[in-house]
Structure 1
Amino acid sequence: MKKLLSVVCALCVCGLAVPLWAGSLSISELAVTTKVSKGKPIDAVHRISHRTVKALYCFTRTVTDDAAETTIRHVWLRGGQVVKETDLPIRGKRWRAYSTLPVDASSVGNWRVDVKDGAGTVIKSVEFRIH
């Protein structure tokens, strides 16, 4: 009985922790950048040398008519293979979020970052190349 109660409590807590999806969420800005400063990307990378940066950031600005908290996921892919996934909270009608990718010589290749909603649907993507 104690075990059943523990399982039920754990399921309830997990259920409360999963945010509801705001149906009208859209991406108003998406950029891979070398730095985020004062809540904004300083540039937009399309092609960059691995020797010039130690990390890249994927910056996302969201807009929704629903203020309910939700989550988006940044999926970093190199050559179509998932390298990194990061869940990011969205906590307002207008929200900014970013994830980071360390860069070194092993990072060379064609990259894409997919932004996915809570259901796993790709909302928007950005492509770039590290050489």
Structure 2
Amino acid sequence: MLRKTIIPVVIFVFIISAGLVQAESGMQVAQVTFATAVEDRQPIGPGTSFPTTVERVYCFTAINGAEGEASVSHVWYYNDTEMARVPLSVRAAAWRTWSSKRIMPFWVGQWRVDVESADGDILTSKEFSIASP
């Protein structure tokens, strides 16, 4: 009796797992843009170097090719130290999403955002800097 129950459960878990892998397997990052704001789902004030007075930097990401519902994370690094990890849903084949990080005036130097899949694979990585005016 137990064996009759376990086999269907194992098959069900395998099918669900395969579907989740498929949902993310074709996913590609089409765009990563750093900006000072996002309005109407578009980055405003794009750049790769910002002054210490910026207060907040946005990481705008366009994803293509996701099948079904998937997710990515923006992982923010300052001088190679993780500062934030932001999970973001991807709910269509072509999806735009963003996160932001408050920037303290003394955080001068190199920043990086890794865009990671739900499995932790780095899909892409992009850098920006905070410089004294």
With normalisation by structure 2, the TM-score equals: 0.78
* Partner-residue secondary structure (3-state), 2:106: helix
Runs of 4+ residues deviating >2 angstroms:
none
Deviations 1:2-61 (A, max 9, x none): xxxxxxxxxxxxxx9xx924210001110111111111112322111111x221100000
Q: Does structure 1 conserve the Cα–Cα contact (< 8 Å) formed by 2:66 and 2:92?
A: no
Using the alignment, how far apart are the partners of 2:70 and 2:37 within structure 1?
Answer: 25
Deviations 1:35-92 (A, max 9, x none): 11111112322111111x22110000000152x1111000000111101100000000
Using the alignment, how far apart are the partners of 1:94 and 1:46 within structure 2?
Answer: 24
* Partner-residue secondary structure (3-state), 1:106: coil
State the identity as a percent: 28
* Partner-residue secondary structure (3-state), 1:20: helix
Structure 2 match to 1:29: 31
* Partner-residue secondary structure (3-state), 1:73: strand
1:86-105 paired onto structure 2 within 5 Å? 86-105=86-105
Using the alignment, how far apart are the partners of 1:106 and 1:73 within structure 2?
Answer: 25
Q: Pick the structure with greater CA Rg.
A: 2
Unaligned stretches of 5+ residues in structure 2 = 1-15
Using the alignment, how far apart are the partners of 1:62 and 1:43 within structure 2?
Answer: 20
Unaligned stretches of 5+ residues in structure 1 = 1-15
Using the alignment, how far apart are the partners of 1:88 and 1:126 within structure 2?
Answer: 17
Counting matched residue pairs gives 112
* RMSD (Å), alpha carbons: 1.7
Structure-2 change in CA distance of 1:65 and 1:112 (3 Å)? closer
Using the alignment, how far apart are the partners of 1:20 and 1:73 within structure 2?
Answer: 16
